[in-house]
Structure 1
């Protein structure tokens, strides 16, 4: 194997690409580190620099065609890294924004490695804007109460019944909701004791009319064996 001395111009180009990726990746990573995210300063810098290095290798070996091939592999390969920061806790999924940020850091590095520093800077600005300027809007939307008439959500109709009449109550619950054309995904037993049993009919995620659900609850409370009835709504994941 023969090692040739690097061309000074080529080495300078590579250094510039890696330096740009390092600085821009550090800007993105600083914002993530400041907010105590899983993938912070070092991770975003390494992703950006690594993507820049791979793209630069492709440019040097096969020109634009080589860089195109390598960038396509970077795009798919970074998905495995992003999947590592996504965690599911019950019905909540965390880390999606961090994974998306890593994906963008790789894009910033790829732009730098392909000799597109202006595009890399613009992309960095948009990534930072998405993670900072949009945060107040996201927080405002998340604090808004759920509008049952327009939000696709998960609805549950709860009934508390006498233990000896659970079977009849289950049938009455299903019949009441089917009459309103609300499909039922499942009927769960939430709690069970010698005194009472709580059932919950889980509807298929959809939109619903609060007035219709209120009428259904009032109708169910008139059924034999049902002590109380109510309904709840939560966002889908």
Structure 2
């Protein structure tokens, strides 16, 4: 009778872990879902759920010396999933944050699997802080420290000096300036860095300046 009661208690504990893993993965996945990312609500819920299942299996199998073997393979499998959501085009790489979310979801699932509910809950909370609160910090950094690579065509070589003066007046900085000549035009390649609003003023100046044939960034 005592053995039956112990088995039922253990069984109930594992069921609780499974439901908590689905809940934790769903919370993380909801944030990715509302942002329209490739790995969203269901995906992160399944990853967290699956990690918990494998972690439970690792100690229910009863192999004392090799409990970390399944956990190591979970990490390897999650690595492949994360790599699948990272995309790269000619200038940008996207999906890295989603890949990191997959990695964290698996780690939280493993914490739940070994019964570390406090650390799992704290990890979910900190993950949401990183994904939400730090998003505003990231936006502030990106806006304040933007950099753009410009290609500008001049009708007159002397106008490049006026451009450098305008950059300085707007409080912007530049480097990697290269000048090329083709036929009757002067082509300039330059990297400009600074605040987003000042860069927009620089764009307006380029649009209205008659001595500039064309530009793009």
TM-score calculated relative to the size of structure 1: 0.62
Contact 2:17 2:52 (C-alpha < 8 Å) held by counterparts: yes
Q: Which residue of 1 aligns with 2:48?
A: 48
**Which string of whole-angstrom CA distances, capped at 9 and with x for unpartnered residues, describes residues 55-80 of structure 1?**
01101123664442211111111011
Instruction: Look up the match of 1:77.
Output: 77
Match of 2:28 in 1: 28
Change beyond 3 A, Cα 1:137–1:96:
same
SS of 1:233 mapped into structure 2: strand
Instruction: Please say if 1:60 is aligned against 2:60.
Output: yes
Q: Deviations over 1:148-170 (max 9, x none)?
A: xxxxx9x788889xxxxxxxxxx
In structure 2, stretches of 5+ residues that fail to align are 1-5, 155-172, 194-217
Correspondence for 1:117:
117
2:188 counterpart of 1:230: yes
TM-score by length of 2: 0.68
C-alpha RMSD over aligned residues: 2.9
Q: Is the 8 A contact 2:176 2:190 kept in 1?
A: no
Higher helix share: 2
Which residue pairs with 1:99 in the alignment? 99
CA distance in structure 2 between the aligned counterparts of 1:136 and 1:54, rounded to whole angstroms? 36
Is 1:143 the counterpart of 2:143? The answer is yes
How big is each residue's C-alpha offset from its partner over 1:33-68, in whole Å with a ceiling of 9 and x where there is no partner? Answer: 122211111101100000000001101123664442
Alpha-carbon spacing, 1:74–1:29, altered in 2? closer, same or farther (3 Å): same
